[in-house]
Structure 1
């Protein structure tokens, strides 16, 4: 049985992912708005990263590495995307 606190933690983690992703979207939009070669490179990188992240998550799901319970699977999914968002945030802050 899943405790209510597990779902509360999961909800907070999902909210935190949304906030972090919003900051990445803001930084990317600023970069894309320039419309120069760097913007094109960012757009191409963004699409490739999204495909890679989704494929990696799908592989983890198909091989059972996300966990055995719905809560564990949701937690692993959020953690997977938070890593990708974190890498993007760090990279975009540098540039």
Structure 2
């Protein structure tokens, strides 16, 4: 159980970094900001659908958190460039 809470805490911290990086991109404006806004919405919808489907098929909450963390880390790397 402690490992699950640690993973959730890390997901929260990493997510906040991605939110900050995305806000900086959106504030800059231009075509890249529009693309990022569209990407953000489509990613969130896809991730939520995937998580719900996984849980309905019997996946553990821990595996869902791991999946979210992979996606968040990928976004953090991409936005940090």
Fold match (TM-score > 0.5): yes
Q: How many residues align?
A: 81
1:82 aligns with 2:76: no
Q: TM-score, normalised by structure 2?
A: 0.92
RCO (CA 8 Å, sep 6+): is it higher in 1 or 2? 2
Q: Gapped runs of 5+ residues in structure 2?
A: none
Deviation, structure 1 residue 36: 1.2
Q: TM-score, normalised by structure 1?
A: 0.79
Structure with the larger helix share: 2
Contact between 2:54 and 2:64, CA under 8 Å: does it hold in 1? no
Larger Rg: 1
Q: Pick from 19, 25, 30: which aligns with 2:19? A: 25
Q: Structure 1 segments of 4 or more deviating over 3 A?
A: none
